[in-house]
Structure 1
Amino acid sequence: VALPARFRERLVDGLIMTRGQEHCVSVFPLAEFSRQSVELAQASSTAARNRDYQRLLYSAADDPTPDKQGRVVINADLRRYAGLERDCVAVGSNTHFEIWDSTAWQAFLDDREPLFARMDSEVVPGLV
């Protein structure tokens, strides 16, 4: 997949691809993934749910190197997880971006976009 030009400059020092929420591929700048890994390491290792989350996140993590045209290969496990077969879309998400199957992304929008106007009070109370 060709990395979108608007994201490439943030990935020059390396990138990590791993499982994202809602069955997409999350792509992080290496420094951001490392920062979040430090935070995640603070989670209790005695809680099975925390261990499971970390296993699933890290076992899927891959660090592909883009070619000169800014393309990377998404490994077979991540492609299968995200249902990536042909058309996909890159979606910015603050500290990273996500790669979605285009049909799955449209279904997500159809389901969640009508709720967007009401989400702000839960997600960012007092900000908007």
Structure 2
Amino acid sequence: MVRNAESEPSSNDASASLCDMMADLPPLLLGTYTPKIDAKGRMALPAKFRSQLGPGMVMARGQEHCVYLLPQMEFRRIAMQIQRTSMGNRAAREYLRVFLSGAVDQDPDKQGRVLVPQMLRDYANLGDDIVVIGVGTRAEIWNRQAWEEYLADKEQGYSDIADDVLPAVEF
């Protein structure tokens, strides 16, 4: 029996298909880093995040008094999602106002540094001692002491709520 090589998918085709799927996914930002904010308000982005965030990114007020650092496409996706519900929903309108009014476009300089605007440093109480964490499709910038307190407070709950948050995921 003669097989036609064009009719059967090869492992190269499967690899190419997987690569295409992965290219469509947003970046996966992971880990904890401890850069410093310099006297001019600049922070060196963790090297692993630089390529994942891309040349244009957005900083915005985050939850629990941190600063979100998002790739532009992810920021736009979130803003569009909120805007779809905002016209008739007062809470969504208010959230959108606060979220967008505190958002700033950022481009890293040649050394991979970004300016953390004073307004966001004040909001998150950021001095020079900070923590940058990867949270999947975004990074968060925290005051180091606030992050350590938050983490210590939430670690027990992390185990307790695993079944509620991840019911279908098996480890």
Q: Which TM-score band applies after superposition, normalised by the shorter structure?
A: over 0.9
Contact kept, 8 Å, 2:56 with 2:107, in 1: the verdict is yes
Q: Report what 1:36 is aligned to.
A: 78
RMSD: 1.1
User: Displacement, 1:119?
Assistant: 1.9
Aligned to 1:87: 129
Q: Please, which runs of 5 or more residues in structure 1 have no aligned partner? A: none
1:35 maps to a residue whose letter is: R
TM normalised by structure 2 equals: 0.72
Aligned to 1:46: 88
2:133 counterpart SS class: strand
Q: Which has the larger radius of gyration?
A: 2
SS at match of 1:17: strand
**Structure 1 counterpart SS, 2:142:** strand
Answering whether residue 158 of structure 2 is matched by residue 116 of structure 1, we say yes
* Mean CA deviation greater in 59-68 or 39-48: 39-48
Structure 1 consecutive aligned stretches of length 4 or more whose deviation exceeds 2 Å: none
Moved more, 21-30 or 8-17: 8-17
| Matched residues, number | 128
Q: Identity percentage over the alignment?
A: 41
Look up the equivalent residue of 1:95 and give its one-letter code.
Answer: T
Q: Does 1:127 align with 2:169?
A: yes
